[in-house]
Structure formats: C-alpha cells, structure tokens
Amino acid sequence: MSGALSHIRVLDLSRILAGPWAGQMLADFGAEVIKVERPGSGDDTRGWGPPFIKGSESETSDAAYFHSANRGKQSVAVDMARPEGQAIIRELVKVSDVVLENYKVGGLKRYGLDYDSLKELNPRLVYCSITGFGQDGPDAHRAGYDFMIQGMGGLMSVTGEPDGMPMKVGVALVDVMTGLYAANAVQAALLHREETGVGQYIDLALLDVQVATLANQAMNFLAAGKPPGRLGNAHPNIVPYQAFPTADGHIILAVGNDQQFQRFCEVAGCPDLAKEIGFSTNQKRVENRSDLIPLLLPLLLTNSTQQWLEKLTEVGVPCGPINTIEQVFDEPQIKHRQMQVSLAHRDVGDVPSVANPVKFSETPIAYHQAPPVLGEHSVHILESILDMTSEEIESLCNQGVIQRG
C-alpha cells in the first residue's frame, strides 16, 4: 500500500518553517520530497538550538526545531550560486512535479530558477512561492517573519489580556498555517494538471494567510464595523467560553449552546441562573458577559479541576484541563491516537517526532525516516535520478558544488 502522493516528486528549495512544513505534509502523504540545501550549513534551523537531538552515544544531531518540519525528506546539498549547482537543480526540475521555494521576491531569478525560466523546461511544473507579503504590492520586497506578521495581520490585537500587552501565539502559527495552505494549494494545482496537463504558479503570502485566518474575528469587524479587542481566554461570540480558576488550578469551560449552559448550572447548584432572562440565551450571555462571569467565578472555586472535569463530562458539558506539553503526551487519548512516533535517523538512531494528525483509511501515512543529515542523499539522487557517474559526482564534490552527507 503506497501513499496518496507516491507518484509525485517535490523539489523543496525552502527553509525555516512555512515551506518546509508544506514539504513535510506532502512527504507524509507519500510524495518523494528532495530538500535542496546549502553546502556547509544547510537549512538555517539545523542550528536553531538548543535543544538538539542526541543519540544513545551522545552524538548530537540537528536542532529539534529542524526536526519538527523535515521528516521523510531526502537532502541534497547543492550550491545554487554556482552555475554547476544551478544546472543540477534545473535537471531535477525536469523530472519533478512540484517546486517549493520561499526566497525573497525575484531572489531566484538571478539563478535562472524562477517560475518563468523553469516552466520552459517543464510546462507541467507546479511552482509554489511563499513570501512575507506576496509577489506584488507596496510591501512585496520586504522580508516577512512570523512574529511581525502576527502583529501586522491583527492576530496580536485579539490575543492577550485586555489590560496587558498584545501577545503573539506560543508557536509560529502563521508559518504553520501558510505551510498548510501551501500543501492544499499544491494538491489543488496537481488535480488541475491532471485535467489539463498544464502546471501553474502559486503566489502565497504570510500576511494574506494571517488575514484569511482571522476567521470569525475578521467577520465580526466586517459585520459590525467595530474592531474586536483582547479578551484574554474568553471568546468574543460565546459565553461562558474561557478559563476559570478552580480550587486547585484552572479549567477550560467551553459552553457552546443554551442546553449545555443549563446542564452546567444544574451541576454547579444554580439551576435558576440559566432561566434568568439576561442569561437564558447565548446572545444574552454575550451581551451581559460582565454580569455573568463574576457570578460564575466563585462557583468554580468550590471544586478541584479534576472534580469539575468528572462532573461536567458526565453530563456532556465541554471542558478540559490546561496541560503542559509534558502532560499532553501523557494524555490517554493522545497515546491512543499515536501522536508520538519514533523515526530512524542515520546518525543518532531512533528520534521522536509528532505524528501527522490525518488518518487515511486507504493510504495510511508511513513514516520512512527522520529528517535527513545534510547532504545525506546527494550521491544517491545524482546517481539514480540524473544518471551521473561516480567520476562526475566526485568532481562536483571536489569543486564544492555538492556536499556528501
């Protein structure tokens, strides 16, 4: 049984997170993903530690950051600044289906590796460019990074406590979401190619993705004309839907409808509260948030987090703990869903990885290997795909055009 994309070859020229995340997604789905890296240093995130992955013999591999976004790929270390390196990449393009890249606007044109140049070699090519601001517009040539895009794109304006500083999300969420959009876009373009035989260019910007994923918060503004603000852990459209202190910690209460609120009030010993005209519907509870929450706070302090979890879960009121990441991987549900996997790494043995959450019935994800050592597959790719001789490869190594792993 092979992966859904086992017939697809991806040339991944990207680095850091958004592009590599897309490449990893495509690799998880079965595509052959060839990661093209700079000789010597490779992807910047190989050095973004500590922590670093270590083997049983204390041999250090790359940073954990790099391992988060590059499993299942093959690494070819090629100096694209050299004409000989550009020639190698162009030859690989001829036999590839997809190119992923996240260089600055126009950055690859000087190497003859831009879309217009490469589509002449392969008209079926799907070429996905990821930049901070897109290929056109007044900011197109600016560099874009996740943190600044969270700020510019409005996410930080709705994240954090009302009286505190605007806060970024604790992971590079814009990069991750852009990687997911990229993987989706690439697959859509491949489906279009099946029908037409023609590839296409995909222009994807971090800022556009951030604005698109403001979701209900963006629509709240467009509908009402009032910019939403920061509510801490509360929800702008649902009440009560936030974190509450308990007798020994905190609990997330996620009441999604009026029936759930009624059941919560019954368990909390205040059934009449759900019948009051100001709290009987979600609309009323949102309008009267400032009156309701002070009434609920002392109620939640009467039991421990675990007691509330047991009581509320029993009657179908959505709730949950606030886990540390250590506690996440100890959760019985996470263990049952096998969200942690072990991958074989050439130099340090088995290394841990977070599983892909997609569960296919017919084409299950197969985890073939951990993220590669820099240049690990250089010789193999040049021999098996480009039919180079050992003498030709040795000469390129000696010239510094490629690097063996």
Domain membership of residue 2 (yes or no) is no
Backbone angles phi, psi at 245, to 5 degrees: -70, 145
Number of helices followed by number of strands (H, E) in the chain: 16, 14
What letter represents residue 316's amino acid?
Answer: G
State the Cα–Cα distance between residues 73 and 86, nearest whole angstrom: 20
- Do residue 161 and residue 21 come from a single domain? yes
* Final residue in a domain of this structure, among 288, 323, 358: 323
Going by DSSP bridges, is the β-strand pair 52-54/60-63 parallel, antiparallel, or unpaired?
antiparallel
Same domain, 25 and 53: yes
Q: How many domains does the chain have?
A: 2
Query: What are the tens digits of pLDDT across the range 246-289?
Result: 999 999 999 999 999 999 999 999 999 999 999 999 999 999 99
Question: Quick one: 63 and 170 in the same domain?
Answer: yes
Residue 247 falls within a domain, yes or no?
A: yes
Query: Which candidate, 61, 26, 78, 11, places its Cα nearest to that of 379?
Result: 78
pLDDT at position 101 = 98
Q: How far apart are CA 310 and CA 394, in angstroms?
A: 65
Under 8 Å between Cβ of 175 and 149: no
β strands within 158-211, DSSP E: 200-205
Are the C-beta atoms of residues 178 and 18 closer than 8 Å to each other?
A: yes
Say yes or no: 31 and 164 in one domain.
yes
Give the distance from CA 39 to its chain's centroid. Answer: 26
Q: Are residues 301 and 254 in the same domain?
A: yes
**Is 114 a member of any domain?**
yes
Active site residues: 175
* Structural domain range at position 247: 241-323
Residues 6+ apart with CB under 8 A from 98: 8, 9, 10, 11, 26, 31, 125, 126, 127, 128, 186, 190
In this structure, are 258 and 396 located in the same domain? no
Structure tokens at 48: 């973004």
Task: Please say if the pLDDT value at position 1 is more than 60.
Answer: no
Confirm whether 18 is domain-assigned: yes
Q: What CATH number does the domain containing 25 carry?
A: 3.40.50.10540
In sequence order, the 6+-apart residues with CB closer than 8 A to the CB of 253 are 240, 241, 242, 243, 244, 264, 300, 312, 317, 318, 319
What pLDDT band is residue 54 in, cutting at 50, 70 and 90?
confident
Where b means 16+ CB within 10 Å and e means fewer, 268-287 reads beeeebbeeeebeebebbee
Reduced to 3 states, what is the DSSP secondary structure of residue 127? strand
Residues 45 and 174 in one domain: yes
Mean predicted lDDT score pLDDT of the chain? 96
Per-residue pLDDT tens digits for 92-104? 999 999 999 999 9
Question: For residue range 325-361, what is the model confidence (pLDDT) as tens digits?
Answer: 999 999 999 999 999 999 999 988 899 999 999 999 9
List phi, psi (to 5°) of 52: -115, 150
pLDDT digits over 290-321, tens only? 999 999 999 999 999 999 999 999 999 999 99
332 domain residue, yes or no: no
Pair 92, 49 in one domain: yes
